[in-house]
Amino acid sequence: MARLDNKACIVTGGSAGIGLAIVRRLLDEGAHVLFCGQDDGRGADALAALDTPNAHFLRADVSEEADCEALLARAVTLFGRLDILVNNAAKAAVALIPDHSTEEWRRSTAVNLDSVFFLSRGAVRQFRKQGGGVIVNVASISGLAGDGAYPSYCAQKGAVINLTRAMATYHARENIRINALCPGFVETPATDAFKAFPQLLEDWFRSIPAQRPAQPEEMASIVAFLASDDASYMHGSIVVADGGVTAATGQPTQVPIG
């Protein structure tokens, strides 16, 4: 039996990149998955690629409370329950604070943080009716330390990490597990823009102890683990998958020895 056999799941931002890899892995583990995105065309393409009746798409803007509530209601209508919520949708605003528009700050905060609040609130209410459930929040190593070009993203992902901890410490007693994944650099359509700067990418990958970026499937495997009973005693854990970036002091690793 697959680890997630017949589990009912929601994955936000599931039409491409890490989100689509998560959807595919949860399906491979036996789950039924409702995923969302803002583009009907991408959603249709993803459904065609997945090619299974166990996958469902709903167009939704998770920065909007009403859309989040509709997503939760759709899952319960489709599956009769909700077992797993993966808050994956994200928006990175590239702007220094002096140049950051209020509109972009609020928009990125709504996608990166408000959506986690809206959906977690509804999921916990549903989990209480069922006797338990799982939330996996996809945060970032940018929530653990500062990236100068992404101050708003760092603030929002840092908030997601501590929200994860805070929710987990209370709801663990209700058989509700809440954990977070913090990826480093992952090759996705969202990071394709960096390919226009090959020297930047070369220097970036050289700074990663593993000497390479991650693939979406590597993140999906961790989400599947956190969603499964294999992680049954994990509550409020912040799982880092960054090729060793946050393990390093920043000092040279290749130095003469002896």
C-alpha dihedral over 110, 114, 119, 124, to 10 degrees?
180
pLDDT single digits (tens) 97-139 = 999 999 999 999 999 999 999 999 999 999 999 999 999 999 9
The second-level CATH assignment, the architecture, of 8-241 is 3-Layer(aba) Sandwich (3.40)
At 1 the pLDDT is 60
Average pLDDT for 165-179? 98
Q: What is the mean pLDDT of residues 2-21?
A: 97
Q: What does the CA dihedral 48, 12, 41, 51 come to, rounded to 10 degrees?
A: 0
Question: Mean pLDDT score of the chain, rounded to an integer?
Answer: 95
Buried residues in 13-44 as b, exposed as e (16+ CB within 10 A): bbbbbbbbbbbbbbbebebbbbbbbbeeebbe
Q: What is the pTM of this model?
A: 0.95
Whether 81 shows a pLDDT value over 60: the answer reads yes
Beta bridge partners of 86: 11, 136
Residue 187, judged by CB atoms within 10 A of its CB (0-12, 13-18, 19+), counts as middle
Split at pLDDT 50, 70, 90, the class of 213 is very high
Closest CA to 112 of 190, 170, 47: 190
Q: Residues 220-242: pLDDT tens digits?
A: 999 999 999 999 999 999 999 99
Place of tokens 């709504």: 110
Residue 132: what pLDDT?
A: 98
Q: How far apart are CA 40 and CA 57, in angstroms?
A: 9
Q: What tokens does 73 get?
A: 């209601």
The verdict on whether 233 is a catalytic residue reads: no
Strands 176-183 and 133-138: parallel
**How much is the CA Rg of the chain, to the nearest whole Å?**
18
The residue from 150, 153, 170, 233 that is catalytic is 153
Give pLDDT tens digits for 26-77. 999 999 999 999 999 999 999 999 999 999 999 999 999 999 999 999 999 9
Give residues with Cβ within 8 angstroms of 57, minimum separation 6: 14, 15, 34, 35, 36, 37, 43, 44, 46, 47
Which residue, 94, 109, 196, is CA-closest to 151?
94
Domain ranges in the chain are: 8-241
Closest CA to 87 of 54, 51, 60: 60
